[in-house]
Structure 1
Amino acid sequence: MLPRVADSLSFLYLDMVRIVQDDTGVCAQIQVDNQRTDTVYIPTAAISCVLLGPGVSITTRALATLARHNTSVVCTGSGAVRAYAGILPDSLTTHWLEQQVTAWAEPATRLDVATRMYRMRFHDDVPEGTTLAQLRGLEGQRMKALYRLLAQQHGIGRFRRNYHPDQWHQQDPVNLALSAANTCLYGVVHAALLALGCSPALGFVHAGTQHAFVYDIADLYKARTTLPVAFSLHAADNPEQDARRKFREDLRLLRLMPRIVKDIQTLLTPDAEVDEDASERHDVRLVHLWDPQAGALPAGVNYANDKDG
């Protein structure tokens, strides 16, 4: 029997291999030397998302098999710290996309999600009736306090976040390292969103870019990932390269991605019970029809004789 989605191995990162389909299944071929090629078979039905690093080549037959097994494929940078494109299977359910759109479309529910993001990020209560402008002010105060604390810990004096792409090489090492590390984090979050089926463009705090939701979710983890890395490199000669390398080493990618998925599910469906064994996907037995009053209706039914129609 094929593994259930709930039993999936989640994310698999591959690099420096050629992925092909043979008579047995999908396999990764590793060229050891001129006379030897090692072959490792990939359990496609037990994996939710395959991340293809820059050293990977893959055949169309292998991609088709991954699609049939409901496996998302994301083209990434080294260590999966950048996400360039995603290939989603036709069978991927729109459940979480619908949850995202439903919460995003109404100003009240959108503000509610933004408020929960703040609570999840800073573990602090938000007064009832707080507006989005006030929420931004609270977030700014907390970030200034965090910058001040990290600066004191590393003995670098006052720090001010400064990002000017046109003056990139004139920035101090901490700002350079932070920008590079944040880019890595955005790639990880982007890959997780694609695997889940959400839209990276529909953000709850950020807007106006195809990566708005990526920035929203990435902000949840910066205080524990990119910020400590950046401040630790305040005296580095090459802060950008060192930040990317240190981020990859410290990230433990296979543990962060499932956490991102779980946090997104909690944000979009706060009243639902959290199942520790639940998959990042949501199984749907059949495609359903939408009705504004009755809710979801079964598909594959002829409603010509429906007395209400």
Structure 2
Amino acid sequence: MTDTIGRRAASSPRELTRVADRSSFLYLERCTVHRDTNAITATDAEGTSHIPAATIGTLLLGPGTRVTHQAMSVLGECGASVAWVGENGVRFYAAGRALTRSSTLAEAQATAWANRRARLDVARAMYRLRFPDEDPTGLTRRELLGREGTHVKDCYRAQSARTGVPWKRRHYVPGDFTAGDAVNQAITAAAQCMYGIAHAVATAIGCSTALGFVHSGHELSFVLDIADLYKTEIGIPLAFDIAAESDEDPGPRTRRALRDRIHEVGLMDRCVTDIKELLLPYKAADSPDSTAVDTEIDHVTLQSDHDLQVPSGTNYGHDW
């Protein structure tokens, strides 16, 4: 077996921009995405814009976009996540290559997920991150879901009272972004952007997007788990602020405001920290230190007996 599987020729992990230091997301539509040295270009009827590829956390490609092989090559080399999405970013279709080269978090996540008791412990820890004033110790899953639902409904009512925006109920029709009123459209836009950010961070640091601890049965279950951590703190209040300003174009305005807000609060860095705190207690004792999870690990080993890891690139005979 060779030791080249995990290697990329362009940049070492140390040279790549940390996911926490990148722009959260960039949404493009109705343009052609190409490459110019180490930048990508977006060309439409108004001209060409240059974007340094290494500064992108996740690139959201909306309707009418065309992307070249060279553009995808530089994005892959820089470890940027690429997601193909629907109009206004409200449908997720596919995603590209990620930044990670270490399996530490993926193995810790799988270990916690595979044990029913540990899986519930992580769900409780997620609840504790969302609502730090409450102690979820001993709560069943049904009780966690009930309390979470109550908190979200209370958040809607509180934000409506704060902003003066009328609120009836959450209304979203899949495939029809404009079916709801302005505040519902803003909430949907904020949620989908948060899903994109959570997807970018989770994949960039080596997690499985499918192994959720609250959500289940979907390829993005873990993404939904992480995005929900910040729903009542960031997404919903910002959506009500946007609706209070105007009913016009809530989708684009929400995306721009959310991008600024994410930068202000350092959400990308916080996502990385929260995911590590949730999963690393379940990492194997011989796994690399947590500080190396997304920075310096770039090697492949072979598994032997008794959890022994041996170097790859060697042909092991019967007498080794």
Into which bin does the TM-score normalised by the smaller protein fall? Answer: 0.7 to 0.9
Residue 105 of structure 1 and its aligned partner are, at CA, apart by 1.1
Summarize deviations over 1:26-54 as a string: whole Å, max 9, x none. Answer: 344576999xx889684x6x668562544
- Maintained 8 Å contact 1:181/1:244: no
Gap regions ≥5 residues in structure 2: 1-9, 284-289
C-alpha change, 1:280 and 1:160, in structure 2 (3 Å) is farther
Alignment partner of 1:110 is 2:90 = no
Alignment partner of 1:227 is 2:241 = no
Q: Of the candidates 26, 47, 50, which is equivalent to residue 38 of structure 2?
A: 26
Alignment partner of 1:265 is 2:273 = no
Residue 115 of structure 1 and its aligned partner are, at CA, apart by 0.9
C-alpha change, 1:144 and 1:31, in structure 2 (3 Å) is closer
Letter of the 1:304 counterpart: H
- Maintained 8 Å contact 1:229/1:243: no
- Equivalent positions of 1:122-161 (< 5 A) are 122-155=131-164, 159-161=168-170
Three-state SS of the structure 2 residue aligned to 1:251 is helix
Three-state SS of the structure 2 residue aligned to 1:109 is helix
- Maintained 8 Å contact 1:26/1:62: no
Alignment partner of 1:250 is 2:265 = no
Alignment partner of 1:289 is 2:298 = no
Letter of the 1:260 counterpart: C
Q: Which residue of 1 aligns with 2:201?
A: 192
Q: Which residue of 2 aligns with 1:299?
A: 312
C-alpha change, 1:117 and 1:238, in structure 2 (3 Å) is same
Gap regions ≥5 residues in structure 1: none
Three-state SS of the structure 1 residue aligned to 2:306 is coil
- Normalising by structure 2, report the TM-score: 0.71
- Maintained 8 Å contact 2:160/2:167: yes
Three-state SS of the structure 2 residue aligned to 1:113 is helix
Residue 204 of structure 1 and its aligned partner are, at CA, apart by 0.7
- Maintained 8 Å contact 1:70/1:91: no
Cα distance in structure 2, aligned partners of 1:81 and 1:162: 14
Residue 89 of structure 1 and its aligned partner are, at CA, apart by 6.1
- Equivalent positions of 1:39-50 (< 5 A) are 42=52, 49=57
Three-state SS of the structure 1 residue aligned to 2:156 is helix
Aligned structure 1 segments of 4 or more residues deviating by more than 6 angstroms = 30-34, 78-82, 166-170
Three-state SS of the structure 2 residue aligned to 1:289 is strand
- Maintained 8 Å contact 1:186/1:218: yes
- Normalising by structure 1, report the TM-score: 0.73
Alignment partner of 1:177 is 2:183 = no
C-alpha change, 1:66 and 1:271, in structure 2 (3 Å) is same
Q: Which residue of 2 aligns with 1:101?
A: 110
Equivalent pairs counted in the alignment come to: 293
Cα distance in structure 2, aligned partners of 1:127 and 1:224: 19
Cα distance in structure 1, aligned partners of 2:223 and 2:133: 22
Cα distance in structure 1, aligned partners of 2:276 and 2:250: 33
Letter of the 1:242 counterpart: P
- Maintained 8 Å contact 1:83/1:190: no
Cα distance in structure 1, aligned partners of 2:49 and 2:167: 54
Say what the alpha-carbon RMSD is for the aligned residues.
4.2
Higher relative contact order (CA 8 A, sep 6+): 2
Summarize deviations over 1:185-237 as a string: whole Å, max 9, x none. Answer: 22222232232332222211111222211211111111122211333355687
Cα distance in structure 1, aligned partners of 2:101 and 2:209: 16
Q: Which residue of 2 aligns with 1:75?
A: 83
Letter of the 1:209 counterpart: H
Aligned identity (percent) is 32
C-alpha change, 1:187 and 1:27, in structure 2 (3 Å) is closer
Letter of the 2:267 counterpart: L
- Maintained 8 Å contact 2:202/2:209: yes
Q: Which residue of 2 aligns with 1:208?
A: 217
Larger Rg: 1
Three-state SS of the structure 2 residue aligned to 1:269 is helix
Residue 260 of structure 1 and its aligned partner are, at CA, apart by 1.9
- Maintained 8 Å contact 1:74/1:84: no
